[in-house]
Amino acid sequence: MRTLVTGAAGFIASHLVEGLIRRGHEVRAFVRYNSRNLWGWLEDSSCRDAVEIVLGDVRDYDLVKSAVQGCDTVFHLAALIGIPYSYVSPLAYVRTNVEGTYNVLQAARECDVERVVHTSTSEIYGTAQYVPIDEAHPVNPQSPYAASKASADFLALSYHRSFGLPVTVVRPFNTYGPRQSARAIIPTVISQILDGKETLSLGNITPTRDLTFASDTVSGFLAAADSPQTVGETVNLGTGNEISIGDLVEKIAHILGREVKITSDEQRVRPAKSEVERLLSNPGKMRALTGWKADISLDEGLARTVEWMKERRSLYKSGIYNV
């Protein structure tokens, strides 16, 4: 099959590209245009020579349509994902996450694509109103980022209901692992400890998160794409376990054999009404429809991530906070 992955230079998408190549797919990777012809995390990939690279912008309909043309399946992962930056430039999130999704959906419709897998986020649920969170949980976005992703989700499902486009909405909870941005909590903690910091600058440490290792998230995407039962459906990808940020920091410090203290950095703290206090998934629907479940334990996933970051310390600037 010929498969398009948008946002292919990113964290999850680059792992997905590798998984598709291992399965024997012909992969077209849509990478955001840059004048240096850099391919993001695909530069770090052993399969980069097996991938067809298309440089462009998901906000450009003509280019998106040309990338979709001839593909059987589209995995749509291109998005602005940094929650703090969505407070700075909400409109950028609307243009990329909503308009960009429209471009992918419309192009897929016109090109008769056999399956579109659209990427959602657990952030659209907001703080859990009940746990574990299933797909029937109310949608309550608490940041411009989450609102843009919720809008894109509803747009994707509307294309299935209105035009018969075979769409699946995959909703990962918090994915972590090699290649994750330093904006995320796990790389932030690991990089500060590796740089010898005994006092870590962090935001709120009381929220809980359901953490899924990258390879499990990728296998979830693939399982969702393979199953006819997921067409027109939204499915959660998560472990069904939660941990507080504070306990997560202790676990990482233990793996690295360090003792650390935490200081609150105001620029890392979300506005009070925007903080999502609790996310805990119910992945039962995904398991029932496809048989998928997360296999990598948090301890194993963190250990793998630590070892990967040890070998690439220069990629992370622990002393700089970038929204």
pLDDT of residue 128: 98
Q: pTM of the prediction?
A: 0.96
Side chain identity, residue 119: T
User: Stretch 251-263: mean pLDDT, rounded?
Assistant: 95
User: Stretch 210-228: mean pLDDT, rounded?
Assistant: 98
pLDDT of residue 319: 73
pLDDT band at residue 137 using 50, 70 and 90 as cut-offs: very high
pLDDT band at residue 183 using 50, 70 and 90 as cut-offs: confident
Could you tell me the domains of the chain?
2-175+211-237 (3.40.50.720), 177-209+241-315 (3.90.25.10)
Rounded Cα gap, residues 254 and 170, in angstroms: 33
Q: Which candidate, 219, 205, 215, 227, places its Cα nearest to that of 277?
A: 205
pLDDT digits (tens, 9 = 90+) for 67-109: 999 999 999 999 999 999 999 999 999 999 999 999 999 999 9
pLDDT of residue 46: 82
Q: How many CB atoms lie within 10 A of CB 263?
A: 8
pLDDT digits (tens, 9 = 90+) for 3-53: 999 999 999 999 999 999 999 999 999 999 998 989 999 998 888 889 999
Cα(first)–Cα(last) distance of the chain, in Å? 38
- The answer, yes or no, to whether residue 320 has pLDDT greater than 80, is no
- The answer, yes or no, to whether residue 249 has pLDDT greater than 80, is yes
Residues 227, 138, 210, 75: what is their CA dihedral angle, to the nearest 10 degrees?
Answer: 40
Q: How many CB atoms lie within 10 A of CB 46?
A: 8
Q: Which candidate, 62, 77, 163, places its Cα nearest to that of 112?
A: 163
User: Stretch 248-270: mean pLDDT, rounded?
Assistant: 92
Percent of the chain with pLDDT over 70: 100
pLDDT of residue 264: 85
- The answer, yes or no, to whether residue 236 has pLDDT greater than 70, is yes
Enumerate residues 6+ apart whose C-beta is below 8 A from 228.
Answer: none
Give the active site residue among 93, 102, 125, 145.
Answer: 145
User: Stretch 104-117: mean pLDDT, rounded?
Assistant: 98
pLDDT of residue 321: 73
List b or e across 21-37, with b for residues whose CB sees 16 or more CB atoms inside 10 angstroms: beeebbbbbbbbeeeee
pLDDT of residue 323: 67
pLDDT digits (tens, 9 = 90+) for 260-293: 999 988 888 889 899 999 999 999 999 999 999 9
pLDDT digits (tens, 9 = 90+) for 138-148: 999 999 999 99
Our answer to whether residue 145 is catalytic in this structure is yes
What are the backbone angles phi and psi of residue 35, rounded to the nearest 5°? Answer: -70, -15
Rounded Cα gap, residues 170 and 135, in angstroms: 10
Peptide bond into 178 cis (omega under 30): no
